[in-house]
Structure 1
Amino acid sequence: MSDEANIQFSEREALLFHSEGRPGKIEIVASKPMATQRDLALAYSPGVAVPVRAIAADPACAYDYTAKGNLVAVISNGTAILGLGNLGALASKPVMEGKAVLFKRFADVDSIDIELATEDVDRFIDAVELMEPTFGGINLEDIKSPECFIIEQTLRERMKIPVFHDDQHGTAIIAAAGLINALYLTGRDIRTTRLVMNGAGAAAIACAGLIKSMGMPQDNLLMCDRKGVIWRGREGVNQWQSAHAADTDRRTLTQALVGADVFMGLSAAGAVSQDMVRAMAPSPIIFAMANPDPEITPPQAKAARPDAIVATGRSDYPNQVNNVLGFPFIFRGALDVRATGINDEMKIAAAQALAALARQQVPEEVAAAYGVRHHFGPDYIIPAPFDPRLMEVVPAAVARAAMDSGVATRPIADFDAYRHSLRARMNPTTSVLSLAYEGARAHPRRVLFAEGEEEVVLRAAIAFKEGGYGTPVLVGRDEVYDNLRDLGVDDPHAYEVHNSRVSPLVPRMVDFLYGRLQRRGYLRRECERMVNQDRNIFASLLLQLGEADAMITGVTRTWAQSMREVKRVIDPDAGGIPFGIHILVGQNHTVFMADTTVNERPSAEELADIAERTAQLARSMGHEPRVAFLSYSTFGNPKGSFLSNVREAVQVLDAKVAAGHRTDFEYEGEMPPDVALNPKQLANYPFARLSGPANVLIMPGLQSAHISAKLLRELAGESVIGPVLVGMEKPVQIAAMSSTASELLTLAVLAAGGIAR
């Protein structure tokens, strides 16, 4: 189950997301250098002949010399696309690309989507089987029942790599994890528990099979379809459904639920009434997983039975059954031991690992983002989808189960080292940013979009509102409503728009601004003009007067000009100077670079302050800060005239440490970027105090910083976040003029969450 249906967006926004820049959501990136003729000779002819001969002699070498061991095919024929039905193979491609993105994002598994234009089961099976030399695993997706059962079973028998139909087993594994914990909380034994399954499709049959593998007796599980209970001897059911026929005299869902301990629904909205819930056993367990609307909502179930534990497939209720908790990490573990398949032992191990993780203390960043309880309980029986511990816990459990059950062909000798390698695969920044988005949804704020007449700003504001992150407050003239309508918004007047020409707040604003600026050479009429004509001034005053919680601007004016206008209204934080940070996010690393926007020639004390606060931001985003004060000089070589502020900044921090001030991060300088970032270069200076490559770069001055940041932004594109403004008394973010709607949305979420203050 997933929560896509709970996030609202316009059709135009969805199409723009998929079409802007490079169409689609994936690309192929070379993992080896391809710059020189020698590189090409090694990558292709004649150098490629060497691994070819090695693989021909020993096929297992393919895992050593090619990407096979980290490559999964996401395959569909489009016969059951999401909830849309049979729309064909080509129409399924956006979904399969999306699944490939999730594999990479959550578990660093490379994935290729493959859409097969056939509904013939045999042709489909033959096509997939022939691809075994290419891939380390096969993820089947969106294939209708009962064909999906035949396809998966046949491929598992014929292929010696993992084959996994996520629509079946992904849901089953996450639901099983929740069931383990719900049984624990209510003091039940699975061997004596009575469960009613409403729905008899692929996911329901997989859930039933896995739960029985965990110990539930055959007749303790009653499966229902549209016609009622599937009982032993009933006609009109297929062989996969009849495998779950029970010896019972109950014939309807209503009868089945009388005295039942557990309800699991993979059927349709409203299938269960409050009276049915009242008829269940004490402390009933209800997994209403129909999407987008469950069989019964948690408030309805709780109203009927306050002692119930309730889970759904939705993210806006507690206990979400979300497949992303499973399939990326299951394949990660299976690939890492080169498993020949994914068996029940591995599925149960994944479910048990997820259940055990939910019983552990919830990390502070997850608790803050989701607003969940800080401990295991009825409203927290399944881990949150963005819990950073998933990558370490679930693959390790799956890998060990594969080894214990005999399907691993490359066992892991050192599990401590393996867990460390799993942590190293993922960049914590991506988890923190995901948590920031979830936190915004859990605690929505009002965010000012100062340039509300610009299309890119409106698209970001629409995404902010329809994503559930808060309320966008738009600054602009009346044409904002027309622009919203042009972007596909059905009810533009549902958006809050502040127009300085007609706002009743203008007199208060003028009084406030004149009070600030009258001793800086400004007349009252000049303040009136600024309030009426300058969107940044007007928006900043709205923020100061409490009309919103945060503000974003920047796409129509240079960063420096926007900053000057904001500072006329909003002061820097009392704790130090404002500055900007560009964040370079790679697959496995993040680098924070400051100050890139504000201070032309910061003093040593200011550089030290910038270092401390940037290190604090880095730590809040999951990194152990290693700070390098950058220069063209490496510890005094060559000598120069403009090194004193950098060198003395290190001395300022040293003096603080000597005075007992706790500086809980590594720092060193002065040094150039290659020494700071390249371990081989750093090793030439054994006295250096950095234990590894720097991840916080403190720039010596604005000229070099601004040039570097602009270069990175143009060369690295969407992997650069920022500039992120730190050090203002109110949450304000100033975007680059070239920002996309997605980048503006990220800054709006960061501003709303206060992560950069």
Structure 2
Amino acid sequence: MPAKKTRKNIRAGRKGKPARKPAKVRRRKPARKVSPRIQKAAPAPVPEERLTKEQLIERAKKPGLEAMRLHPFYRGKIEVVAKCCIRDLSDFAIWYTPGVAEPCKDIAAHPEKVWEHTIKGNTIAVVSDGTRVLGLGDIGPEAAMPVMEGKGLIFKYLGGVDAVPICLGTKDPDQIIQAVKWLQPSFGGFNLEDIAKPKCFRILDTLRRECHVPVWHDDQQGTAAVTVAGLVNALKVVGKAIDQVKLVLNGAGAANIRIAHLCLQAGVKGENMLICDSKGALHAGRTELAQTEPEKWALVHLTNPQGFTGVLPEALRGADVLISLSKSGPDVIHKDWVAGMAEGSVVFVCANPVPEIWPWEAKEAGARVVATGRSDFPNQVNNSMGFPGIFRGTLDVRARTITDEMCLEAALELARCAEDRGLRDDYLLPTMDDWEVFPREAAAVGMKAIEQGVAGITNVTRSDLLRMAEKTIRRARGEIKLLQKEGIIKMP
């Protein structure tokens, strides 16, 4: 019988063959876009509250009261959570014996495979001996644990980095160095935390030189990176060139010593820099420093060639910038000292819990831009804007160290993030709410590591690193939110 005519077989042509189904057109997935630079406007100015010291101290007590309630409630801030599937108990033959023997043999034959088969590639240790914890001093390793856990939580939420607190039962710098070296097989890097000076300098320098994974001291390097980012933008606000300004550093502890070095690297000229400790300016006549505090003595040879021997009030006369990390205020720095600075001066007073001078007093005295270490004043200089992104980028390229140039690159990228939103007297740096900052820092740090030849992974672009960091950080933040939503992390 002849085939019945239908629309389909008429279109098919002769012999009454049914028409072929039209081929499906495969639509290519659009290329994933790289996040653009932050274009959000800077937050609206917030009027400064003129609170007394007593009111500020009372406000500062509130987080501590909540901490005493919530720390026992959660019994720790971080925990181990599985990241592999467990379909049923037979999967343990893959994740443990006998199957696990195969990746073990692979690593034994090719040690670099440890980065692929294990957690090492995204896991660091936060190491402390508890000798300089916040403003509490030498409180011991057990008492330091809550701080190290908190650091680990920030690493995870802002950088997607798994961080394990390691509080050591020794104060001996040689034993600390040896302990970190022994732990290298298990960790992709180390964050040194709350270790007293001067031993913190030798510990960092030795481990940076002798370890094959990155070692970082946030009290030094993290503070320096974020401070320099703020300085770069402050000078843009006041319209001054970094290689022309006179800069005074008040305090010569671990943070300011590293800040001094990074400022020099960023373009501040040594002849324009003065560093003051409790005895006055560092100068060549203080020869005792060569034996007692070699880190200060090293800066003598890099700064103050004119041999200024005065104290802080004299050093500030005509200065463009003050960066102070000394002791808690107020009244450590006086209004008349600030009044004697150059027009359009920049004042960073970062002591905690109270800055060396109230911000409004510094402004009344003539300062154009003021920054502090507090979140309740504009222009907070906070390490948390640095270390999560810096370590993210370091791990993503398997860098074997974190160079000073990588720190500076992070500082400049952090500064650009704020500049993209619009700089003002009261807006120099992004805040932790601006999570897009951290992937950008990570990409900048990773590319600098590749450029300097310290990266183990080199066949990636800036866009690749940006996407990798965004994916990892989004996952970490989403995981925490999901656990809260499902009630696994209980709300207090």
Name the TM tier (shorter chain).
0.7 to 0.9
Matches for 1:109-128 after TM superposition, within 5 Å? 109-128=161-180
5+ unaligned residues in a row in structure 1: which ranges?
362-374, 431-584, 592-711, 720-739, 742-757
Question: Under a length normalisation based on structure 2, what TM-score does the superposition of the two structures give?
Answer: 0.83
Structure 1 distance, partners of 2:201, 2:84, is 40
Q: Which residue of 1 aligns with 2:312?
A: 253
Decide whether the 8 Å contact of 2:442 with 2:465 is kept in 1. Answer: no
Q: Which residue of 1 aligns with 2:488?
A: 717
Q: Which residue of 2 aligns with 1:232?
A: 284
5+ unaligned residues in a row in structure 2: which ranges?
1-55
Aligned pair partner of 1:45 in 97, 100, 107: 97
Say if 1:376 and 1:249 are closer, same or farther in 2 by CA, change over 3 A.
closer
Structure 1 distance, partners of 2:237, 2:66, is 43
Aligned pair partner of 1:382 in 412, 429, 437: 429
User: Radius of gyration: which is bigger?
Assistant: 1
Structure 2 distance, partners of 1:99, 1:159, is 22
Structure 1 distance, partners of 2:214, 2:230, is 25
Q: Which residue of 1 aligns with 2:46?
A: none
Matches for 1:23-38 after TM superposition, within 5 Å? 23-38=75-90
Say if 1:197 and 1:398 are closer, same or farther in 2 by CA, change over 3 A.
same
Say if 1:400 and 1:717 are closer, same or farther in 2 by CA, change over 3 A.
same
Structure 2 distance, partners of 1:4, 1:211, is 32
Say if 1:354 and 1:312 are closer, same or farther in 2 by CA, change over 3 A.
same
Aligned pair partner of 1:243 in 289, 298, 314: 298
Say if 1:139 and 1:215 are closer, same or farther in 2 by CA, change over 3 A.
same
Q: Secondary structure at the match of 2:276?
A: strand
CA-to-aligned-CA distance 1:698-755 (integer Å, 9 cap, x gap): xxxxxxxxxxxxxx97x64227xxxxxxxxxxxxxxxxxxxx43xxxxxxxxxxxxxx
Structure 2 distance, partners of 1:428, 1:52, is 28
Matches for 1:212-361 after TM superposition, within 5 Å? 212-237=264-289, 238-245=293-300, 246-247=304-305, 248-268=307-327, 269=329, 270-305=331-366, 308-361=368-421
Tell whether 2:134 aligns with 1:74.
no
CA-to-aligned-CA distance 1:665-724 (integer Å, 9 cap, x gap): xxxxxxxxxxxxxxxxxxxxxxxxxxxxxxxxxxxxxxxxxxxxxxx97x64227xxxxx
Tell whether 2:449 aligns with 1:402.
yes
Q: Secondary structure at the match of 1:196?
A: strand
CA-to-aligned-CA distance 1:593-634 (integer Å, 9 cap, x gap): xxxxxxxxxxxxxxxxxxxxxxxxxxxxxxxxxxxxxxxxxx
Q: Which residue of 1 aligns with 2:28?
A: none
Post-superposition offset of 1:34: 3.4
Post-superposition offset of 1:186: 2.2
Post-superposition offset of 1:273: 0.8
Q: Which residue of 2 aligns with 1:88?
A: 140
Tell whether 2:75 aligns with 1:16.
no
Residues 28-37 or 396-405, more deviating: 28-37
Structure 1 distance, partners of 2:178, 2:323, is 35
Q: Secondary structure at the match of 2:185?
A: coil
Q: Secondary structure at the match of 1:426?
A: helix
Matches for 1:506-585 after TM superposition, within 5 Å? none
The letter of the residue matching 1:353 is E
Q: Which residue of 2 aligns with 1:198?
A: 250
Structure 1 distance, partners of 2:231, 2:350, is 13
Say if 1:293 and 1:12 are closer, same or farther in 2 by CA, change over 3 A.
closer
Higher relative contact order (CA 8 A, sep 6+): 2
Post-superposition offset of 1:396: 0.6
Matches for 1:449-468 after TM superposition, within 5 Å? none
Post-superposition offset of 1:385: 2.0
Structure 2 distance, partners of 1:213, 1:400, is 18
The letter of the residue matching 1:282 is E
Structure 2 distance, partners of 1:4, 1:339, is 42
Post-superposition offset of 1:317: 1.0
CA-to-aligned-CA distance 1:158-190 (integer Å, 9 cap, x gap): 101110000111111000001111122222222
The letter of the residue matching 2:479 is G
Q: Secondary structure at the match of 2:409?
A: helix
CA-to-aligned-CA distance 1:565-602 (integer Å, 9 cap, x gap): xxxxxxxxxxxxxxxxxxxx534x869xxxxxxxxxxx
Percent identity of paired positions between Structure 1 and Structure 2: 41
Post-superposition offset of 1:192: 2.0
Question: Under a length normalisation based on structure 1, what TM-score does the superposition of the two structures give?
Answer: 0.55
Say if 1:176 and 1:114 are closer, same or farther in 2 by CA, change over 3 A.
same
The letter of the residue matching 2:356 is E
Structure 1 distance, partners of 2:407, 2:202, is 20
Tell whether 2:227 aligns with 1:175.
yes
Q: Which residue of 1 aligns with 2:465?
A: 418
